[in-house]
Protein backbone atom coordinates (compact mmCIF):
# COMPACT_ATOMS: atom_id res chain seq x y z
CA UNK A 1 0.00 0.00 0.00
CA UNK A 2 1.18 3.51 -0.72
CA UNK A 3 -0.27 6.57 0.92
CA UNK A 4 -1.86 8.89 -1.62
CA UNK A 5 -2.34 12.55 -0.82
CA UNK A 6 -6.11 12.01 -0.93
CA UNK A 7 -5.74 9.45 1.89
CA UNK A 8 -4.44 12.09 4.28
CA UNK A 9 -6.88 13.91 6.58
CA UNK A 10 -7.98 17.46 5.93
CA UNK A 11 -6.65 19.52 8.82
CA UNK A 12 -8.87 22.06 10.56
CA UNK A 13 -6.20 24.62 9.73
CA UNK A 14 -8.36 27.61 10.69
CA UNK A 15 -8.97 26.09 14.15
CA UNK A 16 -5.52 24.71 15.04
CA UNK A 17 -3.11 27.24 16.53
CA UNK A 18 -0.29 28.00 14.11
CA UNK A 19 2.85 27.44 16.16
CA UNK A 20 2.21 23.71 16.51
CA UNK A 21 1.77 22.27 13.02
CA UNK A 22 3.41 25.09 11.05
CA UNK A 23 5.65 27.03 13.45
CA UNK A 24 5.90 30.84 13.69
CA UNK A 25 9.61 30.82 12.79
CA UNK A 26 9.77 34.51 13.75
CA UNK A 27 13.01 36.32 14.61
CA UNK A 28 11.68 37.30 18.04
CA UNK A 29 9.28 35.50 20.35
CA UNK A 30 7.85 36.85 23.61
CA UNK A 31 6.70 34.29 26.15
CA UNK A 32 4.40 35.92 28.70
CA UNK A 33 2.90 34.00 31.62
CA UNK A 34 -0.19 35.16 33.52
CA UNK A 35 -2.00 34.20 36.71
CA UNK A 36 -5.76 34.54 36.71
CA UNK A 37 -7.07 36.80 39.50
CA UNK A 38 -10.59 37.32 38.18
CA UNK A 39 -12.09 34.28 36.45
CA UNK A 40 -15.18 35.91 34.93
CA UNK A 41 -13.33 38.89 33.45
CA UNK A 42 -10.43 36.67 32.29
CA UNK A 43 -12.78 34.30 30.54
CA UNK A 44 -14.32 37.16 28.57
CA UNK A 45 -10.88 38.53 27.70
CA UNK A 46 -9.66 35.12 26.51
CA UNK A 47 -12.82 34.68 24.42
CA UNK A 48 -12.09 37.98 22.71
CA UNK A 49 -8.41 37.01 22.29
CA UNK A 50 -9.56 34.12 20.06
CA UNK A 51 -9.93 36.66 17.21
CA UNK A 52 -6.23 37.55 17.51
CA UNK A 53 -4.95 33.96 17.62
CA UNK A 54 -2.89 33.03 14.56
CA UNK A 55 -4.19 29.79 13.09
CA UNK A 56 -2.19 27.20 11.15
CA UNK A 57 -3.79 28.55 7.95
CA UNK A 58 -2.80 32.12 8.75
CA UNK A 59 0.78 31.22 9.76
CA UNK A 60 1.15 29.08 6.64
CA UNK A 61 0.03 31.95 4.38
CA UNK A 62 2.15 34.45 6.31
CA UNK A 63 5.26 32.32 5.86
CA UNK A 64 4.71 31.97 2.11
CA UNK A 65 4.21 35.74 1.77
CA UNK A 66 7.21 36.47 3.97
CA UNK A 67 9.60 34.28 1.98
CA UNK A 68 8.48 36.02 -1.22
CA UNK A 69 9.13 39.45 0.34
CA UNK A 70 12.54 38.79 1.83
CA UNK A 71 14.68 40.71 2.80
CA UNK A 72 11.86 43.16 3.72
CA UNK A 73 11.05 42.68 7.39
CA UNK A 74 7.44 41.84 8.09
CA UNK A 75 5.91 43.70 11.01
CA UNK A 76 3.14 41.15 11.37
CA UNK A 77 2.71 39.91 14.96
CA UNK A 78 1.58 36.30 15.54
CA UNK A 79 -0.15 35.21 18.75
CA UNK A 80 -0.84 31.78 20.30
CA UNK A 81 -2.10 30.82 23.76
CA UNK A 82 -1.63 27.81 26.03
CA UNK A 83 -3.03 26.88 29.45
CA UNK A 84 -1.74 24.93 32.38
CA UNK A 85 -4.26 22.63 34.01
CA UNK A 86 -4.26 25.10 36.91
CA UNK A 87 -5.31 27.86 34.54
CA UNK A 88 -8.21 25.75 33.28
CA UNK A 89 -9.11 25.01 36.92
CA UNK A 90 -9.08 28.74 37.73
CA UNK A 91 -11.53 29.29 34.88
CA UNK A 92 -13.73 26.58 36.49
CA UNK A 93 -13.27 24.40 33.45
CA UNK A 94 -13.81 20.72 34.27
CA UNK A 95 -10.38 19.10 33.85
CA UNK A 96 -11.27 15.80 35.53
CA UNK A 97 -11.08 13.98 32.17
CA UNK A 98 -7.40 14.85 31.67
CA UNK A 99 -5.44 11.62 31.66
CA UNK A 100 -1.93 12.87 30.96
CA UNK A 101 -0.10 12.71 34.29
CA UNK A 102 2.38 15.44 33.33
CA UNK A 103 -0.34 17.96 32.59
CA UNK A 104 -1.66 17.58 36.13
CA UNK A 105 1.59 18.63 37.80
CA UNK A 106 3.72 21.74 38.05
CA UNK A 107 7.07 20.97 36.41
CA UNK A 108 8.77 21.37 39.80
CA UNK A 109 6.97 18.32 41.21
CA UNK A 110 8.54 16.22 38.46
CA UNK A 111 11.96 17.92 38.53
CA UNK A 112 13.77 14.91 40.02
CA UNK A 113 12.27 12.52 37.47
CA UNK A 114 13.22 14.92 34.66
CA UNK A 115 16.86 14.85 35.80
CA UNK A 116 16.86 18.43 37.15
CA UNK A 117 18.85 19.28 40.28
CA UNK A 118 16.77 19.01 43.45
CA UNK A 119 17.43 19.53 47.15
CA UNK A 120 14.91 18.38 49.77
CA UNK A 121 12.58 17.44 46.90
CA UNK A 122 12.62 21.01 45.51
CA UNK A 123 14.25 22.07 42.23
CA UNK A 124 17.23 24.29 43.01
CA UNK A 125 17.50 26.27 39.77
CA UNK A 126 13.91 27.04 38.80
CA UNK A 127 12.78 30.61 38.13
CA UNK A 128 9.25 29.48 37.23
CA UNK A 129 7.16 26.35 37.59
CA UNK A 130 8.44 25.21 41.03
CA UNK A 131 4.86 24.88 42.23
CA UNK A 132 1.31 25.76 41.17
CA UNK A 133 1.79 29.32 42.47
CA UNK A 134 4.57 30.15 39.98
CA UNK A 135 3.30 28.07 37.04
CA UNK A 136 1.58 30.30 34.48
CA UNK A 137 -2.17 29.75 34.23
CA UNK A 138 -1.96 31.12 30.70
CA UNK A 139 1.17 31.36 28.54
CA UNK A 140 1.04 33.61 25.50
CA UNK A 141 3.48 33.12 22.65
CA UNK A 142 3.80 36.36 20.69
CA UNK A 143 6.18 36.42 17.72
CA UNK A 144 7.35 38.84 15.04
CA UNK A 145 10.33 39.61 12.82
CA UNK A 146 10.04 43.26 13.85
CA UNK A 147 11.16 43.81 17.44
CA UNK A 148 9.55 47.27 17.79
CA UNK A 149 6.19 45.97 16.52
CA UNK A 150 6.49 43.02 18.90
CA UNK A 151 7.36 45.19 21.90
CA UNK A 152 4.36 47.43 21.23
CA UNK A 153 1.95 44.54 20.71
CA UNK A 154 3.12 42.61 23.78
CA UNK A 155 2.82 45.74 25.95
CA UNK A 156 -0.68 46.35 24.66
CA UNK A 157 -1.74 42.73 25.32
CA UNK A 158 -0.22 42.78 28.83
CA UNK A 159 -2.04 46.00 29.76
CA UNK A 160 -5.43 44.88 28.43
CA UNK A 161 -4.94 41.51 30.20
CA UNK A 162 -4.19 43.32 33.48
CA UNK A 163 -7.47 45.21 33.19
CA UNK A 164 -9.23 41.84 32.79
CA UNK A 165 -7.73 40.29 35.93
CA UNK A 166 -4.77 38.49 34.31
CA UNK A 167 -1.59 39.34 36.23
CA UNK A 168 1.73 39.00 34.40
CA UNK A 169 3.83 36.49 36.33
CA UNK A 170 6.63 35.65 33.91
CA UNK A 171 8.21 36.96 30.70
CA UNK A 172 11.16 36.14 28.46
CA UNK A 173 12.07 37.25 24.99
CA UNK A 174 13.53 34.75 22.57
CA UNK A 175 15.68 36.00 19.71
CA UNK A 176 17.06 34.05 16.78
CA UNK A 177 20.88 34.24 16.66
CA UNK A 178 22.93 34.85 13.49
CA UNK A 179 23.06 31.79 11.18
CA UNK A 180 20.26 30.13 13.23
CA UNK A 181 22.72 28.90 15.88
CA UNK A 182 21.96 28.07 19.50
CA UNK A 183 24.27 29.63 22.08
CA UNK A 184 26.97 26.92 21.95
CA UNK A 185 27.42 27.92 18.30
CA UNK A 186 25.74 25.01 16.45
CA UNK A 187 23.08 25.57 13.83
CA UNK A 188 19.72 24.42 15.22
CA UNK A 189 16.24 23.82 13.83
CA UNK A 190 17.34 21.56 10.97
CA UNK A 191 15.78 18.16 11.57
CA UNK A 192 12.02 17.97 12.01
CA UNK A 193 9.31 15.45 11.19
CA UNK A 194 6.82 16.52 8.50
CA UNK A 195 3.20 16.30 9.68
CA UNK A 196 0.92 14.63 7.13
CA UNK A 197 -2.41 16.28 6.37
CA UNK A 198 -4.05 18.59 3.88
CA UNK A 199 -4.81 22.30 3.99
CA UNK A 200 -7.37 21.81 1.21
CA UNK A 201 -9.00 18.75 -0.34
CA UNK A 202 -9.48 20.01 -3.93
CA UNK A 203 -6.85 19.97 -5.23
CA UNK A 204 -5.13 18.08 -2.37
CA UNK A 205 -2.76 20.64 -0.82
CA UNK A 206 -0.39 19.16 1.76
CA UNK A 207 0.83 21.16 4.77
CA UNK A 208 4.28 19.58 4.38
CA UNK A 209 5.72 20.03 0.88
CA UNK A 210 6.61 16.86 -1.02
CA UNK A 211 9.94 16.99 -2.84
CA UNK A 212 10.70 13.34 -3.59
CA UNK A 213 10.49 12.14 -7.20
CA UNK A 214 7.17 10.19 -7.37
CA UNK A 215 9.07 7.36 -9.08
CA UNK A 216 10.97 6.66 -5.82
CA UNK A 217 9.46 3.81 -3.75
CA UNK A 218 9.71 5.98 -0.60
CA UNK A 219 8.07 9.05 -2.21
CA UNK A 220 5.02 8.63 0.04
CA UNK A 221 7.13 8.37 3.21
CA UNK A 222 9.17 11.58 3.05
CA UNK A 223 8.62 15.31 2.70
CA UNK A 224 12.23 16.25 1.98
CA UNK A 225 15.09 13.71 2.03
CA UNK A 226 15.52 12.78 5.71
CA UNK A 227 12.14 14.20 6.74
CA UNK A 228 9.72 11.39 7.65
CA UNK A 229 6.04 12.10 7.09
CA UNK A 230 4.18 11.52 10.35
CA UNK A 231 0.42 11.18 10.85
CA UNK A 232 -0.75 14.43 12.47
CA UNK A 233 -2.33 12.80 15.54
CA UNK A 234 1.19 12.61 16.98
CA UNK A 235 1.01 16.41 17.32
CA UNK A 236 -2.68 17.41 17.33
CA UNK A 237 -5.62 15.63 18.96
CA UNK A 238 -8.38 14.22 16.77
CA UNK A 239 -6.24 12.89 13.86
CA UNK A 240 -4.74 9.50 12.94
CA UNK A 241 -1.53 8.60 14.77
CA UNK A 242 1.61 6.76 13.69
CA UNK A 243 1.98 2.97 13.79
CA UNK A 244 4.82 1.37 15.72
CA UNK A 245 5.59 -1.03 12.93
CA UNK A 246 4.26 0.28 9.61
CA UNK A 247 5.19 3.88 8.76
CA UNK A 248 2.34 4.11 6.24
CA UNK A 249 -0.55 2.69 8.23
CA UNK A 250 -2.55 5.28 10.16
CA UNK A 251 -3.69 4.33 13.66
CA UNK A 252 -6.67 5.53 15.68
CA UNK A 253 -6.43 9.07 17.11
CA UNK A 254 -5.14 9.33 20.69
CA UNK A 255 -7.85 8.98 23.27
CA UNK A 256 -8.72 12.41 24.61
CA UNK A 257 -11.84 14.33 25.61
CA UNK A 258 -13.69 16.07 22.77
CA UNK A 259 -12.64 19.52 23.99
CA UNK A 260 -8.99 18.65 23.32
CA UNK A 261 -9.65 18.12 19.59
CA UNK A 262 -7.52 20.33 17.34
CA UNK A 263 -5.38 21.12 20.39
CA UNK A 264 -1.85 20.01 21.32
CA UNK A 265 0.25 19.44 24.39
CA UNK A 266 3.14 21.87 24.73
CA UNK A 267 6.19 21.34 26.91
CA UNK A 268 8.09 24.50 27.77
CA UNK A 269 11.53 24.13 29.37
CA UNK A 270 13.66 27.19 30.14
CA UNK A 271 17.18 25.84 29.60
CA UNK A 272 20.11 27.99 30.78
CA UNK A 273 23.35 27.48 28.83
CA UNK A 274 26.81 28.03 30.30
CA UNK A 275 28.82 28.84 27.19
CA UNK A 276 32.09 29.56 29.05
CA UNK A 277 31.98 26.13 30.70
CA UNK A 278 31.14 24.39 27.40
CA UNK A 279 34.06 26.09 25.64
CA UNK A 280 36.41 25.17 28.51
CA UNK A 281 35.26 21.54 28.25
CA UNK A 282 35.94 21.50 24.50
CA UNK A 283 39.38 23.05 24.95
CA UNK A 284 40.51 20.95 27.99
CA UNK A 285 39.07 17.69 26.72
CA UNK A 286 40.34 18.04 23.15
CA UNK A 287 43.85 18.45 24.63
CA UNK A 288 43.63 15.27 26.73
CA UNK A 289 41.94 13.42 23.88
CA UNK A 290 44.76 14.39 21.52
CA UNK A 291 47.24 12.92 24.02
CA UNK A 292 45.30 9.66 24.31
CA UNK A 293 44.89 9.29 20.55
CA UNK A 294 48.38 10.45 19.57
CA UNK A 295 47.07 13.01 17.05
CA UNK A 296 45.56 16.46 17.28
CA UNK A 297 41.82 16.70 17.89
CA UNK A 298 40.64 20.29 18.09
CA UNK A 299 37.65 21.75 19.94
CA UNK A 300 35.52 21.91 16.79
CA UNK A 301 36.11 18.21 16.09
CA UNK A 302 35.17 17.29 19.65
CA UNK A 303 32.09 19.54 19.38
CA UNK A 304 30.99 17.68 16.23
CA UNK A 305 31.23 14.37 18.13
CA UNK A 306 29.20 15.75 21.04
CA UNK A 307 26.44 17.22 18.85
CA UNK A 308 26.61 14.88 15.83
CA UNK A 309 26.82 17.88 13.49
CA UNK A 310 29.50 20.45 12.73
CA UNK A 311 28.74 24.01 13.76
CA UNK A 312 27.35 24.86 10.30
CA UNK A 313 24.96 21.88 10.49
CA UNK A 314 26.95 19.43 8.31
CA UNK A 315 26.13 15.97 9.75
CA UNK A 316 29.25 14.31 11.28
CA UNK A 317 28.23 11.02 9.60
CA UNK A 318 28.46 12.65 6.16
CA UNK A 319 31.71 14.56 6.39
CA UNK A 320 34.92 14.70 8.49
CA UNK A 321 34.79 18.52 8.28
CA UNK A 322 32.18 21.25 7.76
CA UNK A 323 31.06 21.16 4.12
CA UNK A 324 29.06 24.11 2.77
CA UNK A 325 27.85 22.10 -0.21
CA UNK A 326 25.99 19.89 2.28
CA UNK A 327 25.03 22.38 5.00
CA UNK A 328 23.60 24.98 2.61
CA UNK A 329 21.47 22.46 0.71
CA UNK A 330 18.19 21.73 2.50
CA UNK A 331 17.86 18.49 0.50
CA UNK A 332 21.22 17.19 1.76
CA UNK A 333 21.67 18.59 5.27
CA UNK A 334 19.34 16.07 6.89
CA UNK A 335 19.61 13.14 4.48
CA UNK A 336 21.28 10.41 6.50
CA UNK A 337 20.53 7.29 8.50
CA UNK A 338 22.92 5.44 10.80
CA UNK A 339 22.42 2.19 8.89
CA UNK A 340 23.41 3.88 5.59
CA UNK A 341 21.04 5.14 2.93
CA UNK A 342 20.86 4.95 -0.91
CA UNK A 343 20.82 7.98 -3.19
CA UNK A 344 17.41 9.53 -3.77
CA UNK A 345 15.89 11.70 -6.50
CA UNK A 346 14.06 14.92 -5.74
CA UNK A 347 12.17 17.25 -8.04
CA UNK A 348 13.43 20.79 -7.63
CA UNK A 349 12.53 23.68 -9.96
CA UNK A 350 10.84 21.06 -12.18
CA UNK A 351 14.15 19.22 -12.61
CA UNK A 352 15.00 15.82 -11.20
CA UNK A 353 18.10 15.94 -9.06
CA UNK A 354 19.95 13.12 -7.30
CA UNK A 355 20.85 13.49 -3.64
CA UNK A 356 23.77 11.20 -2.73
CA UNK A 357 23.47 8.41 -0.18
CA UNK A 358 26.21 7.24 2.20
CA UNK A 359 27.55 4.09 3.89
CA UNK A 360 26.42 2.85 7.31
CA UNK A 361 27.88 3.91 10.66
CA UNK A 362 26.17 1.40 12.92
CA UNK A 363 29.29 1.27 15.16
CA UNK A 364 29.27 5.02 15.69
CA UNK A 365 32.73 5.67 14.27
CA UNK A 366 31.76 8.87 12.45
CA UNK A 367 28.77 9.90 14.57
CA UNK A 368 29.11 8.39 18.06
CA UNK A 369 26.13 6.83 19.81
CA UNK A 370 26.33 9.51 22.50
CA UNK A 371 26.04 12.44 20.03
CA UNK A 372 23.05 14.61 20.98
CA UNK A 373 21.24 14.13 17.66
CA UNK A 374 21.76 10.36 17.73
CA UNK A 375 20.61 10.02 21.36
CA UNK A 376 17.34 11.85 20.69
CA UNK A 377 16.71 10.40 17.22
CA UNK A 378 18.51 7.13 16.41
CA UNK A 379 16.56 7.21 13.12
CA UNK A 380 16.68 3.77 11.45
CA UNK A 381 18.50 1.95 14.24
CA UNK A 382 16.93 -0.65 16.54
CA UNK A 383 16.62 0.76 20.04
CA UNK A 384 15.60 -0.39 23.50
CA UNK A 385 12.03 0.37 22.30
CA UNK A 386 12.06 -1.67 19.09
CA UNK A 387 12.90 -1.39 15.41
CA UNK A 388 13.77 1.59 13.24
CA UNK A 389 10.51 3.29 12.33
CA UNK A 390 9.47 2.99 15.95
CA UNK A 391 11.84 5.88 16.75
CA UNK A 392 9.50 8.24 14.90
CA UNK A 393 6.76 7.61 17.48
CA UNK A 394 8.67 9.68 20.02
CA UNK A 395 9.41 12.73 17.91
CA UNK A 396 7.87 16.13 18.70
CA UNK A 397 7.55 19.40 16.77
CA UNK A 398 10.38 21.48 18.26
CA UNK A 399 9.78 25.23 18.25
CA UNK A 400 12.50 26.43 20.64
CA UNK A 401 14.30 29.76 20.34
CA UNK A 402 17.43 31.06 22.10
CA UNK A 403 17.17 33.81 24.73
CA UNK A 404 19.83 36.23 25.96
CA UNK A 405 22.73 37.91 24.14
CA UNK A 406 25.64 36.12 22.48
CA UNK A 407 28.38 35.11 24.94
CA UNK A 408 31.03 37.10 23.06
CA UNK A 409 28.93 40.26 23.30
CA UNK A 410 28.03 40.02 27.01
CA UNK A 411 29.63 37.04 28.79
CA UNK A 412 28.09 37.78 32.20
CA UNK A 413 24.45 37.81 30.97
CA UNK A 414 22.09 34.86 31.33
CA UNK A 415 21.38 32.97 28.11
CA UNK A 416 19.91 29.71 26.91
CA UNK A 417 17.12 28.06 25.00
CA UNK A 418 13.38 28.50 25.46
CA UNK A 419 12.69 24.87 24.56
CA UNK A 420 9.14 24.45 23.22
CA UNK A 421 7.83 21.21 21.75
CA UNK A 422 4.34 20.12 20.62
CA UNK A 423 2.98 16.58 20.85
CA UNK A 424 -0.09 14.62 21.99
CA UNK A 425 1.52 12.57 24.78
CA UNK A 426 4.11 13.92 27.23
CA UNK A 427 4.60 10.41 28.50
CA UNK A 428 5.37 8.72 25.20
CA UNK A 429 7.07 11.64 23.43
CA UNK A 430 8.84 14.24 25.63
CA UNK A 431 9.52 11.78 28.45
CA UNK A 432 10.90 9.12 26.13
CA UNK A 433 13.37 11.51 24.52
CA UNK A 434 14.29 13.47 27.63
CA UNK A 435 14.35 10.84 30.33
CA UNK A 436 14.61 7.43 28.70
CA UNK A 437 17.17 8.42 26.06
CA UNK A 438 18.87 11.80 26.60
CA UNK A 439 19.45 11.39 30.34
CA UNK A 440 20.04 7.66 30.20
CA UNK A 441 23.65 6.53 29.54
CA UNK A 442 22.40 2.98 28.85
CA UNK A 443 20.16 3.82 25.87
CA UNK A 444 18.91 4.00 23.17
CA UNK A 445 20.98 1.76 20.88
CA UNK A 446 23.58 -0.31 22.65
CA UNK A 447 23.05 -0.39 26.35
CA UNK A 448 26.27 1.54 26.98
CA UNK A 449 25.84 4.49 24.63
CA UNK A 450 27.02 7.00 27.25
CA UNK A 451 25.52 10.32 28.30
CA UNK A 452 24.32 12.93 25.89
CA UNK A 453 27.20 15.20 26.94
CA UNK A 454 25.52 18.29 25.46
CA UNK A 455 22.18 18.27 27.25
CA UNK A 456 21.79 14.98 29.17
CA UNK A 457 21.46 15.25 32.94
CA UNK A 458 22.03 12.98 35.88
CA UNK A 459 20.17 14.90 38.55
CA UNK A 460 23.08 15.94 40.72
CA UNK A 461 25.26 17.76 38.17
CA UNK A 462 28.06 15.20 38.68
CA UNK A 463 30.51 14.28 35.93
CA UNK A 464 29.04 12.49 32.91
CA UNK A 465 30.97 10.15 30.62
CA UNK A 466 30.58 8.56 27.22
CA UNK A 467 32.66 5.88 25.46
CA UNK A 468 34.40 6.73 22.18
CA UNK A 469 36.01 4.20 19.87
CA UNK A 470 38.60 5.90 17.68
CA UNK A 471 39.09 3.82 14.53
CA UNK A 472 42.25 5.65 13.39
CA UNK A 473 44.16 4.94 16.61
CA UNK A 474 42.05 1.80 17.26
CA UNK A 475 41.62 2.72 20.92
CA UNK A 476 38.68 3.12 23.27
CA UNK A 477 38.57 6.21 25.42
CA UNK A 478 36.08 7.79 27.81
CA UNK A 479 35.08 11.40 27.26
CA UNK A 480 34.04 13.06 30.51
CA UNK A 481 32.16 16.30 31.01
CA UNK A 482 32.95 17.44 34.58
CA UNK A 483 29.82 19.57 34.93
CA UNK A 484 26.51 20.35 33.23
CA UNK A 485 26.50 23.01 30.51
CA UNK A 486 22.70 23.09 30.31
CA UNK A 487 20.71 23.77 33.47
CA UNK A 488 16.90 23.66 33.34
CA UNK A 489 15.47 26.68 35.12
CA UNK A 490 11.83 25.66 35.09
CA UNK A 491 8.92 25.60 32.71
CA UNK A 492 5.49 24.10 32.38
CA UNK A 493 3.41 21.34 30.85
CA UNK A 494 0.63 23.06 28.91
CA UNK A 495 -2.42 22.50 26.74
CA UNK A 496 -2.63 24.55 23.58
CA UNK A 497 -6.35 24.44 22.68
CA UNK A 498 -8.17 24.90 19.41
CA UNK A 499 -9.33 28.42 18.57
CA UNK A 500 -12.96 27.29 18.88
CA UNK A 501 -12.22 26.14 22.45
CA UNK A 502 -11.13 29.72 23.27
CA UNK A 503 -14.25 31.15 21.62
CA UNK A 504 -16.47 28.86 23.71
CA UNK A 505 -14.83 29.66 27.05
C1 LIG B 1 20.05 23.89 25.51
C2 LIG B 1 19.67 22.68 25.15
C3 LIG B 1 19.78 22.13 23.76
C4 LIG B 1 20.67 22.42 22.77
C5 LIG B 1 21.83 23.41 22.83
C6 LIG B 1 20.33 21.61 21.63
C7 LIG B 1 20.99 21.65 20.41
C8 LIG B 1 20.63 20.93 19.29
C9 LIG B 1 21.28 21.02 18.01
C10 LIG B 1 22.48 21.91 17.68
C11 LIG B 1 20.65 20.15 17.17
C12 LIG B 1 20.98 19.89 15.69
C13 LIG B 1 20.14 20.69 14.77
C14 LIG B 1 18.91 19.99 14.25
O15 LIG B 1 18.99 18.83 13.80
O16 LIG B 1 17.83 20.59 14.28
C17 LIG B 1 19.58 19.52 17.92
C18 LIG B 1 18.70 18.58 17.42
C19 LIG B 1 17.72 17.96 18.18
N20 LIG B 1 17.45 18.15 19.50
FE21 LIG B 1 18.42 19.40 20.75
N22 LIG B 1 19.26 20.81 21.96
C23 LIG B 1 18.89 21.09 23.25
C24 LIG B 1 17.87 20.50 23.96
C25 LIG B 1 17.09 19.47 23.53
C26 LIG B 1 16.08 18.79 24.30
C27 LIG B 1 15.74 19.12 25.76
C28 LIG B 1 15.51 17.85 23.49
C29 LIG B 1 14.42 16.85 23.77
C30 LIG B 1 13.99 16.50 24.95
C31 LIG B 1 16.16 17.97 22.20
C32 LIG B 1 15.82 17.22 21.09
C33 LIG B 1 16.39 17.35 19.85
C34 LIG B 1 15.95 16.60 18.68
C35 LIG B 1 14.79 15.62 18.61
C36 LIG B 1 16.79 16.98 17.63
C37 LIG B 1 16.74 16.48 16.18
C38 LIG B 1 17.61 15.24 16.04
C39 LIG B 1 17.51 14.64 14.66
O40 LIG B 1 16.38 14.44 14.20
O41 LIG B 1 18.54 14.35 14.06
N42 LIG B 1 17.12 18.93 22.26
N43 LIG B 1 19.60 20.00 19.21
**Residue 373 alpha carbon to ligand 1 centre in Å:** 6
Say how far apart CA 317 and CA 364 lie, in whole Å.
9
What integer pLDDT is reported at residue 213 of this predicted model? 98
Contacts of residue 155, Cβ cutoff 8 Å, sequence gap at least 6 = none
Say how far apart CA 318 and CA 117 lie, in whole Å.
36
What integer pLDDT is reported at residue 174 of this predicted model? 98
109 ligand 1 Cβ < 6 A = no
Query: CB count, 10 Å around CB of 51?
Result: 9
pLDDT level of residue 446 (50, 70, 90 thresholds): confident
| Intra-chain end-to-end CA distance of the chain, in Å | 43
Contacts of residue 30, Cβ cutoff 8 Å, sequence gap at least 6 = 140, 141, 142, 143, 150, 154, 171, 172, 173, 174
Long-range contacts of 405-412 (CB under 8 A, 24+ apart): 406/177, 406/183, 407/183, 407/275, 407/276, 411/275, 411/276
Instruction: Tell me the average pLDDT of the chain.
Output: 96
* Longest distance between any two alpha carbons in the chain, whole Å: 70
Secondary structure class of 490 (helix, strand, coil): strand
**Residue 156 alpha carbon to ligand 1 centre in Å:** 34
Q: Specify whether the CB–CB gap between 424 and 234 falls below 8 A.
A: yes
182 ligand 1 Cβ < 6 A = yes
Q: Ligand 1, atom 33: nearest CA belongs to which residue?
A: 376
What integer pLDDT is reported at residue 389 of this predicted model? 76
What integer pLDDT is reported at residue 1 of this predicted model? 83
What integer pLDDT is reported at residue 441 of this predicted model? 94
Say how far apart CA 75 and CA 78 lie, in whole Å.
10
- The arithmetic mean of pLDDT across residues 434-463, rounded, is 91
271 ligand 1 Cβ < 6 A = yes
What integer pLDDT is reported at residue 447 of this predicted model? 87
What integer pLDDT is reported at residue 100 of this predicted model? 87
What integer pLDDT is reported at residue 390 of this predicted model? 83
Q: Ligand 1, atom 11: nearest CA belongs to which residue?
A: 188
pLDDT level of residue 323 (50, 70, 90 thresholds): very high
330 ligand 1 Cβ < 6 A = no
pLDDT tens digits, one per residue of 260-315 = 999 999 999 999 999 999 999 999 999 999 999 999 999 999 999 999 999 999 99
For the chain, the residue count is 505
The secondary element (H helix, E strand) that includes residue 56 is helix 56-69
- Give the total number of structural domains in the chain: 1
User: Phi/psi of residue 405, each to 5°?
Assistant: -80, 165
Residue to probe by mutation, ligand 1, list 455, 456, 493, most atoms within 8 Å of CB: 455
Domain residues for 89? 1-505
377 ligand 1 Cβ < 6 A = yes
Say how far apart CA 50 and CA 171 lie, in whole Å.
21
- What is this structure's pTM? 0.98
- The arithmetic mean of pLDDT across residues 370-385, rounded, is 96
Amino acid sequence: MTVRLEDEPVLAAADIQGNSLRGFDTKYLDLVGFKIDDAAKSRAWLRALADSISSTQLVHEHRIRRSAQRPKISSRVLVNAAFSKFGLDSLSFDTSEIEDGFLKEPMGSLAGALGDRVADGQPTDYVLGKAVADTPDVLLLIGSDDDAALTAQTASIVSSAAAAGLRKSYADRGNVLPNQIEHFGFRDGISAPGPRGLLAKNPPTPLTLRWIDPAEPVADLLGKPGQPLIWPGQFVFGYPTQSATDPRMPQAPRQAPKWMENGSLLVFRRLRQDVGLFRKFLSDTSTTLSQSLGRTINGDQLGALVVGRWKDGTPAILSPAPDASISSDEMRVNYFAYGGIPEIRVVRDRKVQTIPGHPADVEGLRCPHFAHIRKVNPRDQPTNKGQGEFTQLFQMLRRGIPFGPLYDEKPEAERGLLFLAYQTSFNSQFRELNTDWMNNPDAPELGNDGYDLLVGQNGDGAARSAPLHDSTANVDVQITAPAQFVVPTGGAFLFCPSISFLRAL
